[in-house]
Amino acid sequence: MTNETSRHSIAVIAGDGIGKEVVPSAITCLERIASIHGLDLVFTYFDWGSDFYGRHGRMMPIDGLDQLARHDAIFLGAVGSPEVPDTESLWGLLIPIRREFQQYINLRPVKTLDGVKSPLAAANPIDILIVRENNEGEYSEVGGRMYRGLPHESAVQETIFTRLGVSRAARYAAALAATRTGRLTSATKSNGIVHTMPFWDEVVAETVAQYPGVTVTHELVDALAAHLVLKPWTLDVIVASNLFGDILSDLGSSVTGSIGLAPSANLNPEGDFPSLFEPVHGSAPDIAGKNLANPVGQIWSGAMMLEHLGHPDAAAHLQSAFESALRHGHGTRDIGGTSTTTEFTQAILTAIDALAPVTA
């Protein structure tokens, strides 16, 4: 039996390449979880992405954001195609969604999973949350190019930090750290970038000071990248700017086994607008349509979506299921396994049923 708090409208954009394979896998798992936990997940599908661009010259229709605004969450696969410039994929779909819906937090877990071999000789389990500021910073639109095609052609792009943008990212990260070990690491480069990064450091320090029990360490981003490789298990919560957070989270997912495992959430924490959930991996056109794609990043993103929508038990059930499937050797080839996308998905469905709570 469902009620209003368990009914959710979800916009689905499978996108391009392997997105069209892993999104159906994830939705099959979400529907199984929903049936067990009494949730009513209503999926509405949008055929936006590179194919849409080929037909219309846009990644989504002019009123696309208005259409998405009617939903409780957005579930995205992967976008990108060799036939479409990368700037169109990012600025024609992802960034407008993130900014229109004030998805100012990008949350990316980095975690070792049983059954997945890390390229590191990790002494301890890795369990990190990377909080990336998602609306400003290095991904500013301020700038331009001049003298195109001439020997003195030039390009300028500005990094924009605001007190609002930095402080709300720091607040979110500090609140997370307070529920864990209380250790927060802030990525900086204030020794070389002399205006924006010292400002970042100051605002982060001022904000974290409001959270008793949370301590912040400011670490130069190059040293922090090395830290993620050498001793990642000593890190807990990381807060970083848009560009630094993007790079560090991709590195983190790689050191735990495969970028195909990595989920992400683009969050509007207040819930005033829909949040977006997507795997970190790209559209992987080289393996698209071959039933080889790893669905875990997409399925894990679905678990994060359930958590955000207020269903932690359902989210934990889904996460336990894909972790169980991995533990029992049901992996795709990117993590050393032999399962196809279909076979791996079936193993997760079997685990969902096996781990279902017993009802009276």
Catalytic residue IDs: 147, 189, 222, 246, 250
Name the phi and psi angles at 276, rounded to 5. -120, 140
Q: What does 162-195 look like in DSSP terms, one character per residue?
A: -HHHHHHHHHHHHHHHHTTTSEEEEEE-TTTSTT
Cα separation of 279 and 285, whole Å? 15
Measured CA distances, 25 to 132, 335, 341, 346 (Å):
27, 18, 8, 9
List, as one string, the DSSP characters of 220-246.
Answer: EHHHHHHHHHH-GGG--EEEE-HHHHH
Question: How far lies 10's CA from each of 45, 69, 70, 230, in Å?
Answer: 9, 10, 9, 40
- 300 touches 322 (CB < 8 A): yes
Enumerate residues 6+ apart whose C-beta is below 8 A from 332.
260, 292, 293, 294, 295, 339, 340, 341, 344
3-state secondary structure of 266: strand
What tokens were used for 198? Answer: 């010292």
